[in-house]
Amino acid sequence: MYPLLEFLSANAALLVAVVALVISLRANYTAHQAHRLNLRSKADSDRVLLFEKKREVLNEVDRQHARIATLKMLTAQKILLFRDNPDLQHMMPGELDRLRSNLTSIQTLDTKYEEQRQGLEAIDVGADIAKQEELLANIRRLSIHLEKDIAHEQAHLDEVRSKLSAKMENNP
Three-state DSSP string of the chain: CCHHHHHHHHCHHHHHHHHHHHHHHHHHHHHHHHHHHHHHHHHHHHHHHHHHHHHHHHHHHHHHHHHHHHHHHHHHHHHHHHHHCHHHHHHCCCHHHHHHHHHHHHHHHHHHHHHHHHHHHCCCCCCCHHHHHHHHHHHHHHHHHHHHHHHHHHHHHHHHHHHHHHHHHHCC
Residue numbers of the domain that contains 139? 46-170
**What pLDDT is attached to residue 6?**
80
In a domain, 130, yes or no: yes
Tens-place pLDDT, residues 39-73: 888 888 878 888 888 888 889 889 999 999 999 99
**What pLDDT is attached to residue 110?**
86
Quote the number of domains for the chain: 1
In a domain, 20, yes or no: no
In a domain, 39, yes or no: no
In a domain, 80, yes or no: yes
Given a cut of 90, whether residue 114 has pLDDT beyond it is no
**What pLDDT is attached to residue 172?**
61
